[in-house]
Structure 1
């Protein structure tokens, strides 16, 4: 029996990007000094991307890395903490994850493991923390390295979870 993988990597329609306020979600968490929507002009495709399960109305949006104001250089730069927004049952759950590289193989030159730093909220009415973490893992396993923006790298990426 084939495993159903409901999540797919897609570009976000302008309507959905506005409906879910993705510009502001990105700007709230991403360390970059260049903000949305201007930043979209620097991508090959000038739209947001996400990993979406249209049947269930779930989506995963990667906001990139949080800012580190305590860097050695004295300048604000990217931290090792990455922000993913998981939208489930009409609610955004903010996950902060950190990752470390694992031993690469010929098949998977990009191999890393995610650790959970925080999640907020940690559960929803009628949905446990464990269920939400499983949905997150399903989505990240499809999103891989960089969603639809980098399918070639995704094919070489193996992800593990330390949570």
Structure 2
């Protein structure tokens, strides 16, 4: 079974400590998890999951830029994703930029890899992990299950 966008069960959110993962990376939110869930239409975390292989991809949001032109800390264009493979979390920091929109895909952007930690697993190469990440992001698209209409209009490219 390939990746699918889903809401996370309360049990899985607790098991994988998703509140703390979100809070660790998403500094742009004024309200932290789990209180932030009360502000969503569906009061659960969301992820992109491949249950057959036991993989999941969790978007932790945008990081802060401490070296902004304004001199103030501002959201950056770097986004944190956690890919869970073979019982281990791999942290990916990606940046994106918009690309030319089309009638069919008005939302078109490309991701570039900024960092990856760890860069491989004992039985899985860097290239394999990057391919799994791409598979997950191609399903997650714009914003996972919370943005199905936008996802249908989204085309993603990878520069890695």
> Which TM-score band (shorter chain)?
over 0.9
Q: 1:23 — aligned with what?
A: 19
Q: 2:150 — aligned with what?
A: 153
Q: Secondary structure at the match of 2:90?
A: strand
How far 1:69 sits from its partner (Å)?
1.9
Given that 1:97 and 1:114 are in contact with CA atoms closer than 8 Å, whether structure 2 keeps it comes out as yes
Q: 2:3 — aligned with what?
A: 7
Given that 1:31 and 1:77 are in contact with CA atoms closer than 8 Å, whether structure 2 keeps it comes out as no
Given that 1:68 and 1:79 are in contact with CA atoms closer than 8 Å, whether structure 2 keeps it comes out as yes
Structure 1 CA distance, aligned partners of 2:68 and 2:24? 20
In the alignment, structure 1 residue 40 sits paired with structure 2 residue 37: yes
Q: TM-score, normalised by structure 1?
A: 0.95
Gaps of 5+ in 2: none
Structure 2 CA distance, aligned partners of 1:49 and 1:75? 31
Q: TM-score, normalised by structure 2?
A: 0.97
1:39-58 equivalence runs, <5 A: 39-58=36-55
Which stretch has the larger CA shift, 36-45 or 144-153? 36-45
Q: How many residues align?
A: 159
Q: What are the Cα deviations for residues 137-156 of structure 1, in whole angstroms up to 9, with x where unaligned? A: 00000000000000000000
How far 1:41 sits from its partner (Å)?
1.1
Structure 2 CA distance, aligned partners of 1:60 and 1:125? 20
For 1:111, which of 108, 111, 115 is the aligned residue?
Answer: 108
Q: Secondary structure at the match of 2:102?
A: coil
Structure 2 CA distance, aligned partners of 1:122 and 1:70? 26
For 1:98, which of 95, 113, 123 is the aligned residue?
Answer: 95
